[in-house]
């Protein structure tokens, strides 16, 4: 089970990283576009953001 748990945790970490990256990218959109997509700027900031430098 150890290898399976390690793999599951790695996947969870990558999913969290991806969500933070997407939230950061979406913050570059204007408020009207965010609203059409069903998000608010406050929601995205609450998720945490990370923008890769490359």
- Output the six-digit token pair for 2: 């150890």
Q: Which residue has the tokens 């204007």?
A: 30
Per-residue pLDDT, averaged over 34-54, amounts to: 83
Please determine, for residue 47, whether its predicted confidence score (pLDDT) is greater than 90.
no
Domain ranges of the chain: 2-47
Question: How far is it, in rounded angstroms, from Cα 47 to Cα 17?
Answer: 11
Please tell me the distance from the alpha carbon of residue 54 to that of residue 51, in angstroms, as a whole number: 9
User: What is the structure's pLDDT at 1?
Assistant: 64
- How high is the pLDDT of residue 52? 58
Percent of the chain with pLDDT over 90: 67
The per-type count for the chain, helices as H runs and strands as E runs, is 3, 0
């Amino acid at each position: 089970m150890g290898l399976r748990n390690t793999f599951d945790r790695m996947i969870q970490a990558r999913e969290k990283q991806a969500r933070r990256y997407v939230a950061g990218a979406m913050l570059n959109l204007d408020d009207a576009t965010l609203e059409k997509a069903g998000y608010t700027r406050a929601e995205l900031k609450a998720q945490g953001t990370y923008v890769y430098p490359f």
